[in-house]
């Protein structure tokens, strides 16, 4: 049998086959839970044409819209197959075997996987029990000759913690990374749930990559479309490794539709705010912790619980999928619940009461 590169054998991945998920209300992956109306969906489909299926895709219309939306020229923008592809391409372009890659713990799981794929070494800073992140550790590494990372990656907000960094913190890290000659990825997958953004910094710093996705507030997780914003020199370097036509025509058309209809995102943001209120009231009633999470998910903390696997399993039996049983001490006693509108969250709250009353 032909063997893969030896270093890949230590990477273990969970299958993406999800045939059972349709049986449940899916509050586990931070997708948009309630689809758009049939009327809006029909209007979305009307933006497609037969050529959308048989011709190779032209990304120009979406580039034009994003340029106007961001207030940047198109050479600062690069469309990708989800924001995850932007992150992977940054690793592939800049990471060499043996390089150091720094990121929080816990955080987006693909950082550690890409570090392993490209034969680099991880350096992590753990979140404190109060979900804060000691950025002085990152600053110290960036200022070190022996522990200096080639790449720093921090989502803002992060997940599963829901933690955020202020503009001042991001500015400090950007300056230190620039001085160190390190690439700094700021993942803004949950913008504009948290409206603080590092996009303006790409004019000031040549080493910053801001990644965004249409999967969260855009509600297009199934279409796999995202983009990076960076200095044109970075965009030029990263596009050297692109495949042919990586973003499909349907994703491009519907992404353009979402940008042309900002009311869809505004309505969804309102829906999430109202759903969070329902869950907050339930958490207070049940004596659960409710850490700040300015995203489309919410952590629930169960005081005195060491691992939430049984709670996750019990909720699944009630018809709801949530994320939990985290290994990190910062969230060991938490479950992560994707938010939806008040009706969905009230149904979940009722089943949560049932589970905790047993």
Last residue of a domain, one of 260, 295, 329: 260
Structural domains in the chain (count): 2
Mean pLDDT score, 147-176: 97
Judgement on whether residues 236 and 296 belong to the same structural domain of the protein: no
Please choose, from the candidates 113, 8, 65, 39, the residue with its C-alpha nearest in 3D space to the C-alpha of residue 253. Answer: 65
Q: Is residue 182 part of a domain?
A: yes
Alpha-carbon gap, residue 325 to 323, rounded angstroms: 7
Do residues 126 and 201 share a domain?
yes
Q: What is the CATH number of the domain that holds 197?
A: 3.40.640.10
Q: Is residue 28 part of a domain?
A: yes
Strands 151-155 and 100-105, how do they pair? Answer: parallel
Domain hosting 105: range is: 47-260
Closest CA to 114 of 103, 106, 105: 103
- CATH number of the domain to which 295 belongs: 3.90.1150.10
What pLDDT score does 255 carry?
98
pLDDT of 253: 97
227 and 307 belong to one structural domain: no
Question: For 181, which DSSP code?
Answer: T
Residue 27 resides in a domain: yes
Residue 42 lies in a domain: no
Instruction: Give the number of C-alpha atoms closer than 13 A to the C-alpha of residue 186, restricted to the C-beta side.
Output: 29
Same domain, 106 and 57: yes
Residues 145, 70, single domain; the answer is yes
* Confidence at residue 15, expressed as pLDDT on a 0 to 100 scale: 80
Task: Identify the pLDDT of residue 358.
Answer: 72
Q: What is the DSSP string of 63-102?
A: HHHHHHHHTS-GGGEEEESSHHHHHHHHHHHH--TT-EEE
142/152 Cα distance (integer angstroms): 9
Task: Please indicate, yes or no, whether residues 76 and 180 belong to a single structural domain of this protein.
Answer: yes
Task: Read off the tokens for 217.
Answer: 């507030």
Same-domain status, 84 and 231? yes
- Secondary structure class of 54 (helix, strand, coil): helix
- Res. 164: pLDDT tops 90: yes
pLDDT of residue 174: 98
Residue 271 resides in a domain:
yes
Q: What is the pLDDT of residue 13?
A: 84
- Both 229 and 286 in one domain: the answer is no
Looking at the fold, whether 270 and 256 belong to one and the same domain comes out as no
pLDDT at 11 over 80: yes
Q: Return the pLDDT at 52.
A: 92
Q: Tens of pLDDT along 288-341? A: 999 999 999 999 999 999 999 999 999 999 999 999 999 999 999 999 999 999
Query: Is residue 335 a contact partner of residue 300, using CB atoms and an 8 Å limit?
Result: yes
Residue, of 17 and 81, whose pLDDT is higher: 81
Q: Domain boundary residue among 199, 230, 260?
A: 260
Is there a single domain that holds both residue 207 and residue 58?
Answer: yes
- Of 203, 237, 260, the domain-final residue: 260
Q: Quote the pLDDT of residue 85.
A: 98
Q: 286-323 b/e with 16+ CB inside 10 Å = b?
A: eebebbebbbbbbbbbbeebeebeebbebbeeeebbbb
Same domain? 271 vs 240: no
Residue 2 falls inside a structural domain: no
Classify residue 58: in a domain, yes or no.
Answer: yes
pLDDT (tens digit, 9 = 90+) per residue, 234-269?
999 999 999 999 999 999 999 999 999 999 999 999
- Does residue 99 share a domain with residue 216? yes
- The b/e string for 213-240 (b: 16+ C-beta within 10 A; e otherwise) is bbbbbbbbbebbbbbbbbbbebbeebee
Residue 125 lies in a domain: yes
pLDDT tens-digit map of 39-75: 999 999 999 999 999 999 999 999 999 999 999 999 9
């Amino acid at each position: 049998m032909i063997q893969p590169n030896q270093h890949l054998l230590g990477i273990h991945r969970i299958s993406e086959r999800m045939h059972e998920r349709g049986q449940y209300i899916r509050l586990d992956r931070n997708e948009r839970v309630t689809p758009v109306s049939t009327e809006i969906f029909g209007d979305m489909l009307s933006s497609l044409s037969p050529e959308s299926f048989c011709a190779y895709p032209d990304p120009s219309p979406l580039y034009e819209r994003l340029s106007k939306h961001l207030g940047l020229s198109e050479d600062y923008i690069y469309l990708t197959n989800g924001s995850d592809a932007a992150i992977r391409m940054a690793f592939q372009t800049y990471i060499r075997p043996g390089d150091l890659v720094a990121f929080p713990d816990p955080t987006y799981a693909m950082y550690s996987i890409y570090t392993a794929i490209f034969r680099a070494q991880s350096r992590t800073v753990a979140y404190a029990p109060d979900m804060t992140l000691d950025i002085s550790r990152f600053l110290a590494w960036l200022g070190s000759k022996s522990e200096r990372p080639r790449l720093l990656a921090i989502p803002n907000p992060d997940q599963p913690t829901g933690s955020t960094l202020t503009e001042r913190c991001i500015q400090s890290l950007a300056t230190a990374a620039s001085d160190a000659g390190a690439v700094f990825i700021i993942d803004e997958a949950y913008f504009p749930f948290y409206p603080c953004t590092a996009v303006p910094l790409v004019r000031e710093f040549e080493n910053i990559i801001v990644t965004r996705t249409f999967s969260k507030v855009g509600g297009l997780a199934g279409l796999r479309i995202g983009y990076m914003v960076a200095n044109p020199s970075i965009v030029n370097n990263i596009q050297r490794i692109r495949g042919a036509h990586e973003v499909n025509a349907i994703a491009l058309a519907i992404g353009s539709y979402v940008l042309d209809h900002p009311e869809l995102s505004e309505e969804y943001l309102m829906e999430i705010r109202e759903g969070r209120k329902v869950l907050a009231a339930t958490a207070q009633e049940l004596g659960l912790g409710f850490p700040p999470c300015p995203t489309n998910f919410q952590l629930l903390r169960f005081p005195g619980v060491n691992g939430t696997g049984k709670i996750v399993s019990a909720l699944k039996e009630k018809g709801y999928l949530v994320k939990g049983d985290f290994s990190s001490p910062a969230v060991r006693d938490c479950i992560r619940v994707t938010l939806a509108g008040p009706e969905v969250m009230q149904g979940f709250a009722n089943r949560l009461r049932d589970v905790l009353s047993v």
